[in-house]
Amino acid sequence: MYRGLKKLELTIMRRSLDYWGAFDLSKEFDFIVRQGERNDLFAVTPEARHYVIGREPEPVLAGLHMGTLGKKSLALSMEGAFLVAQASDKKKVKVTGQAESLVVYGRDVFGSSITWADESIRQNDPVIIANKYGEAIGIGRARFDYAGLFQDRVTVSTEADIGLYIRG
Amino acid sequence: MACDIQQFDADERVKALARKYGYPEYMVARFARFVPDLERFLASMEEPPRTYIRVNTLRINPNALIKRLSDKGFTLRETDVPDCLEVTGEPYSIGASAEFLSGYFYVQDKSSMVPPLALAPQPGDVVIDMAASPGGKTTHLAQMMGNRGLLIAIEVDESRLAGLRSNLGRCGIMNTVLFHMDARDVARLEIKADKILLDAPCTGEGVIAKDRSRKTSRGIEDIKYCSGLQEELIDAAHACLKPGGILVYSTCSFAPEENECNVDYAIKKYGMKVEPIPYGEPGLTSFGGLAFEPQVKNARRLYPHIHGTSGFFVARLKNV
């Protein structure tokens, strides 16, 4: 069933978007939740939101899947990461064109291919892996804090990437 | 059934062409009745189809995309269809590029861009796409709506939902609500639409260039079955269309029984009017023993040897 966000879910979503430096997205779009084994968050138009809440038969999809709402945070989907990366550079690493080709096939990121990184990144932080234009091509986790990100070894583990569309 | 399936005797020329190009004689005999320049048409179906992409202007403007793809060694050419580029050279499959994966464009035949353009949805419209997979036309409609308003997409085949969902996500579509159901039951959704796209299931004669097996894998019985199904879908669409609303009916078949015949049915049963479309060749006004309403000529046919596309049929019908 699709429904509006509960107060706690709204707080979790806003806090997570703030982590990515994209708090304003919470005001820019309408959001709904598909309640199930996991609670998936979708960005929708006001018209779609009005139409879909409580609707039977239940749609298999409504709007753009932003990610999954956990008890403490929103785990971004690639679609969500794309929007977040458009809004902010926070918790982002940018990689070379050659590395982009590898990331979209699920490969981890070598420090030598990182051309820029957000200085607020700490070890184990979730990060957005971006191309030279700053567009999200993957979601990863930093193995080091900012100072260690540029070493000649894998410094960011890739956990999701846009290539999943064709590999999945 | 709106009309009887037409069959014709094959003369020596038809028999020779059927042998030469590997078609059943009945099919070439039918083509001979309405296709301009028959042999050139059959020869064109043997050539590899051209590759076209539609720029997803929700995410990038055409010039920026051309620049990015050109930097990667792709060569592109603008076409007579808005946001449609022909890929004239590719160092690797353009569908494997990061720009594709980021949803900056959709790979689809140029002919498939005509139905959404004919429907011309506006941001405030309520729109229904009655047969949405794999999502090329759905994402195009959402793009034309500026990702605003409400677009209801329907898909009956469960195995095609995953691809459709990923294309909607890849292209950043927010205004679309997707239902897994038979579009003939669209009334269950309790909504009246300003505009409906019915890109109907069909025999697929128009995509023989992409799938040669269709020369023989479909027959007269399939035309009959599809024609009946298409008629039921038109009935379902009309029941959900607002007065003054627009229904665009399209197929990738050449068969008049799947095309003009169904448009004629919509005119006669519902009083719908066929409005002009600025692409393609005029619809037929007769076929064998069948005569259609004169306004059916406002519908449009696209042929591979004339338009450089897959075979296609499009009609824009107004609910008056």
pLDDT of res. A75: 97
pLDDT of res. A164: 84
* In the block, residue with structure tokens 């999809």: A61
CB contact under 8 A, B166 and A45: no
Tokens at B166, concatenated: 């990923």
Note whether A101 contacts B: Cβ–Cβ < 8 A.
yes
- Segment holding B243, helix H or strand E: strand B241-251
Q: What is the mean pLDDT of residues B273-284?
A: 97
List, in sequence order, every residue forming a beta bridge with B287; answer none if it has no partner: B290
Is B155 annotated to bind a ligand? Reply is: yes
- Assigned CATH class of A2-86: alpha beta
Q: Tell me: pLDDT of B2 over 70.
A: no
CB contact under 8 A, B169 and A83: no
A13 confidence band (pLDDT: 50, 70, 90): very high
> Which residue intervals of chain A bear CATH 2.30.130.10?
89-165
Note whether A155 contacts B: Cβ–Cβ < 8 A.
no
Task: Report chain A residues whose CB lies below 8 A from the CB of B150.
Answer: 45, 47-48, 51
What are φ and ψ of residue B149, in 5° steps? 70, -150
What DSSP designation does A126 have? Answer: E
> Which residue intervals of chain A bear CATH 3.10.450.220?
2-86
CB contact under 8 A, A65 and B169: yes
Q: What is the mean pLDDT of residues B105-123?
A: 97
Q: Tell me: pLDDT of B187 over 90.
A: yes
Q: B72: helix, coil or strand? A: coil
* In the block, residue with structure tokens 């070890």: A123
Q: How many CB atoms lie within 10 A of CB B285?
A: 15
Interface test with B, best of A61, A84, A95, A98 (most B CBs within 10 A): A61
B56 and B171 Cβ atoms separated by less than 8 Å: yes
Q: Tell me: pLDDT of A166 over 90.
A: no
Q: Tell me: pLDDT of A106 over 60.
A: yes
pLDDT of res. A167: 75
Rounded distance, CA A164 to CA B204, Å? Answer: 30
Report, at the CATH architecture level, how domain A89-165 is classified: Roll (2.30)
Q: What is the mean pLDDT of residues B162-180?
A: 97
Q: Tell me: pLDDT of A88 over 80.
A: yes
CB contact under 8 A, A63 and B174: yes
A69 and A41 Cβ atoms separated by less than 8 Å: yes
Contacts of B320 (CB under 8 A, 6+ apart): B243, B244, B271, B272, B273
Name the least confident of A29-38, B1-10, B120-129. Answer: B1-10
Is B11 annotated to bind a ligand? Reply is: no
Task: Report chain B residues whose CB lies below 8 A from the CB of A29.
Answer: 174
Distance from CA of B73 to the nearest CA of A (A): 14
Rounded distance, CA B183 to CA B233, Å? Answer: 7
Residues of chain A with pLDDT > 70, as a percent, come to 99
Give the closest residue to A137 by CA, choosing from A168, A111, A167, A99.
A99
Residues of chain A with pLDDT > 90, as a percent, come to 93
Told to judge if B252 belongs to the known catalytic residues of this protein, a careful annotator would answer yes
Chain centroid to Cα B136, Å, comes to: 10
Domains in chain B and their CATH numbers? Answer: 110-319 (3.40.50.150)
Q: What is the mean pLDDT of residues A4-15?
A: 97
Across all residues in chain B, what is the average pLDDT?
A: 96
A104 and A164 Cβ atoms separated by less than 8 Å: no
pLDDT of res. A73: 96
Taking the complete model, does pTM exceed 0.85, yes or no? yes
Please enumerate residues of B whose Cβ is less than 8 A from a Cβ of A. Answer: 95-96, 98, 101-103, 126, 147-150, 152, 161, 165-166, 168-170, 172-181, 188, 191
Q: Tell me: pLDDT of B1 over 70.
A: no
Beta strands in B3-135 (DSSP E): 51-55, 75-78, 84-89, 105-107, 126-129
Residues of chain B with pLDDT > 70, as a percent, come to 99
- What distance separates the 2 farthest-apart alpha carbons in chain B? 56
Across all residues in chain A, what is the average pLDDT?
A: 96
